[in-house]
Homo-oligomer: A and B are copies of this chain.
């Protein structure tokens, strides 16, 4: 499921990403950064949307990014190529809107019940707290990991977009967060690859 080769893009296809979690996890900012990475720095057409309702306070927060090689007429996301779920509620609420080959990424700090096989489970918030030193950059850590699994993005455009958007004085911290997220995704990928080739009773080394 995670191999890029299994996923074949047609010209004009839209690539739809939803970032979701609770308010305060920084997903609106993450959506803007993702959109600017793909649009301003990546040269594609992008529409980025968030919706709020009377229920939004304390509820699920979400931010959608649609990327295309052509101008985007209809800016509402329909079926996601990627879903980032930073808490259990958003995971439960949105996973059924993934495309059949869509990629689910969850913050395993908060998501314990993962509804799909082959999901990318990485403890973004724990990594932000323990490896980067600030829990509030979990959104940027998660963007780093997402980049590793998205064929339309790369670390370079993401880093430009992060540095262009985060508050002055936090650039170094956020750069570290992004790179830590990219590394965490690479570690996860490697672990999965080893699991795939290992016989069932083969004892896996832990990273």
Q: List the number of copies, as a whole number.
A: 2
Complex Cα gap A56–B53 (Å): 29
A52 touches B46 (CB 8 A): yes
Query: Measured between C-beta atoms, what is the minimum distance from A34 to chain B in Å?
Result: 11
If the complex has contacts A28-B32, A32-B28, are A53 and B39 also in contact, measured as CB distance less than 8 A? yes
Complex Cα gap A43–B55 (Å): 8
B residues in contact with A44, CB < 8 Å = 54
Query: Measured between C-beta atoms, what is the minimum distance from A48 to chain B in Å?
Result: 5
A30-66 at interface with B (beta carbon < 8 Å): 32, 35-36, 38-41, 43-54, 56-57
B residues in contact with A47, CB < 8 Å = 49-51
Complex Cα gap A52–B50 (Å): 15
B28 touches A51 (CB 8 A): no
B75 touches A51 (CB 8 A): yes
A74 at the interface (CB under 8 A from B): yes
Instruction: Give the residue name and chain of the B residue nearest to A43 (CB).
Output: B54
A167 at the interface (CB under 8 A from B): yes
Complex Cα gap A33–B41 (Å): 24
Complex Cα gap A165–B27 (Å): 12
B48 touches A35 (CB 8 A): no
A92 at the interface (CB under 8 A from B): no
If the complex has contacts A75-B75, A167-B167, are A54 and B45 also in contact, measured as CB distance less than 8 A? yes
